[in-house]
Amino acid sequence: MPAAPAALVILAAGQGTRMNSDLPKVLHKVAGAPLLVHAMRAGAALAPERTVIVAGHGAEAVAKVARDWDEGAEVVIQAEQKGTGHAVAQALPALEGFRGKVVVLYGDTPFVRAETLETMLSVAADVVVLGFRSDPATRYGRLILAEDGALERIVEYKDATGAERAVTLMNSGVLCADAALLADLVGGLTNDNAAGEYYLTDVVGAARARGLGARTVTCPEAETLGVNSRADLAAAEAAFQAAARSGAMSDGVTLTAPETVFFGFDTVVGRDSIIGPNVIFGPGVTVESEAEIRGFCHLEGCHISRGASVGPFARLRPGAELAEDVHVGNFVEIKNAILDEGVKVGHLTYLGDAHVGERTNIGAGTVTCNFDGVMKHRTEIGADAFIGSDTMLVAPVTIGAGAMTGSGSVITRDVPDGALALGRAVQVTKPGLAAKLFEKFRAAKERRRKEAE
C-alpha cells in the first residue's frame, strides 16, 4: 500500500461508437465483469481516498455499476465528450480538498495491474505517465522523451509528424500527478489540435514548460490493451482467460484441458484441485484445495470446500455452499443451498433454498419444490437422513435427522427425526394381467395390419 494518499479518476464517458451497441462501452463484460469493474479493481489496490468515475453516455447505468461495486465511488457527469482533459476537469470538483496524488485510468482499459499503478506512485516526478512499446503502425499517442530519458511531451497520432509516428513508446493513458498540480494543468488546456478536443496528454508539455519534471513507467503491452470494438472485447476475453489458466496452473491447480476452462474475473481455486474439461466459472466462485470439478460444470456465486467433488454436468448457482467432502454428481442443480460435510447428491436433482445436514444422502431425481408460483420456500433436511429417489419435497418442509422418505414420495408435511415418510399410491399387483394385455394388444395390431393390406 502506498504511503501517500491517492485518489482515483476513471474516465468512462465515451460512447464507444465502434462497439455498435446500445450498452455503454465500459459496461461490456470480460470474464463476467464490466470493463469498468476491472479498472476499478485495479485502482482499488491503491486504497484510494477518493474514487471518481466520469460518466456520460449511459451515465445512469454506468453509475449503478460503479456504486454497486464501490459504494464510496463518486460519479460525475461529463454531458458532452470534449476530450480526456475535459473529462478530468469534470472530476476536479469531486477532488476538492484532497491532498495527494491522483491516478487517472481509462474505463476501457481493463488489465492494468495494481503493481504497475503502485510503481507509478513511487516515482518521484511531478507527472508520471504509463507507456508501453508497440508497433509503429498503431495509432496510440506517442511518448516523446528528452535526451536524459525524461518525458518531454505526448503527441497524439493524429497530430504527429512522420518522425514522431516512428516512435514506438506509446501512451497507455494512465497518468499520475499531484492533485493541485493536475487541477492547475488541466485548467490551462486548450483544444487547438486535429481533433478539436481537450487532450489530457497535453498536461505533460505544459508541466515541462513550467520547468517541472515528467517521467514514464513502462509495462507490457498486454496490460494496456484497450477495448474499442467487439473484436477487441473478444481479444480481451482471450487474453484474460489465457492469463487466468496459466495463473491457476502455477498456483498448483490441475487443468486437464486448460483451453476449455473459462474463469470468472474473481475465481479463486485452491492448490491441488483438479478442474476437468469444459468447466465454466461465472462470477463469485471460490474452490478450496483438493476439490475436483469434473467436466462440463457451470458454476457461479458458490463455494466448494476442500475435498468436495462436483460433476460432470453439474450446475451450481448463487448461494450454493458445499462443505468438505460433499459429492455432487451429474445433472444436479443447486441454488441457495448449504450442503453440510459429507452430503451426497449423486444424480438428477434440484436443491434450491435448502439446508442439508451432514452425511445425508439425496436420491436420484429428488426435487425441492421451492416455488409456489408466487413465493420461494425453504427445505430443511437434518443429518444422516436418506431421501429416496424421486422424492418431491414440497417446501416449506422439514425432514428430521436420521429420517427416511420412500422413493417416489411427495412430501408435503414435516417428517420427525428417525421417521419414515411414504407419500405415494399403494401398489396394486394383478397376477397374469400383463401377459393377457400383451396378447390382446398384439392381436389388435395384427388385425390392423391385415386391414391395411
Look at residue 201 and give the partner it binds from ligand UD1, Ca ion, none, a contact being a CB closer than 5 to 8 Å depending on partner kind: ligand UD1
Least CB distance from residue 158 to Ca ion, whole Å? 13
User: CA angle 185-188-194, nearest 5°?
Assistant: 105
- Among 28, 86, 347, 377, the active-site one is 347
Spatial CA neighbour of 27 closest among 2, 52, 64, 1: 64
Contacts of 387 (CB under 8 A, 6+ apart): 360, 361, 362, 363, 366, 381, 393, 399, 404, 405
Single residue of 34, 43, 107, 301 touching ligand UD1 by CB under 6 A? 107
Report the alpha-carbon distance of residue 165 to residue 431 in Å, rounded: 93
Q: Does 140 bind ligand UD1 (CB under 6 A)?
A: yes
Contact string (CB under 5 A) for Ca ion, positions 185-224, x = contact: ----------------------------------------
Q: Which of 8, 20, 15, 34 is nearest to 79 (CA)?
A: 15
Examine residue 43 and tell whether it contacts ligand UD1 (CB under 6 A): no
Whether 377 sits among the annotated catalytic residues: the reply is no
Q: Confirm or reject binding of residue 226 to Ca ion (CB under 5 A).
A: yes
Amino acid at 138: T
Q: Which is nearer to Ca ion, 17 or 122 (CB)?
A: 17
> What is each CA distance from 157 to 199, 225, 237, 249, in whole angstroms?
12, 17, 27, 40
Q: Closest approach of Cβ 106 to ligand UD1, in Å?
A: 4
Q: Does 201 bind ligand UD1 (CB under 6 A)?
A: yes
Quickly count helices (H) and strands (E) in the chain.
Answer: 9, 33
Residue (10 or 343) nearer to ligand UD1, CB: 10
Measured over all CA atoms, what is the biggest interatomic distance in the chain, rounded to whole angstroms?
A: 107
Task: Please tell me the distance from the alpha carbon of residue 393 to that of residue 95, in angstroms, as a whole number.
Answer: 56
Residue 405: name its binding partner from Ca ion, ligand UD1, none (Cβ under 5 to 8 Å by kind): none
In the complex, least distance from residue 66 CB atom to ligand UD1, rounded to whole angstroms: 13
Total length of the chain? 453
**Residue 391 in the binding site for ligand UD1 (CB under 6 A):** no
7, 8, 9, 13: residue in contact with ligand UD1 (rule CB under 6 A): 13
Q: Is 81 in the site for ligand UD1 (CB under 6 A)?
A: yes
DSSP SS3 for 293: strand
Binding stretches for ligand UD1 (CB under 6 A): 11-14, 54, 56, 78, 81-84, 86-87, 106-108, 140-141, 154, 156, 170-173, 199-201, 226
| Binding residues for Ca ion (CB under 5 A) | 226
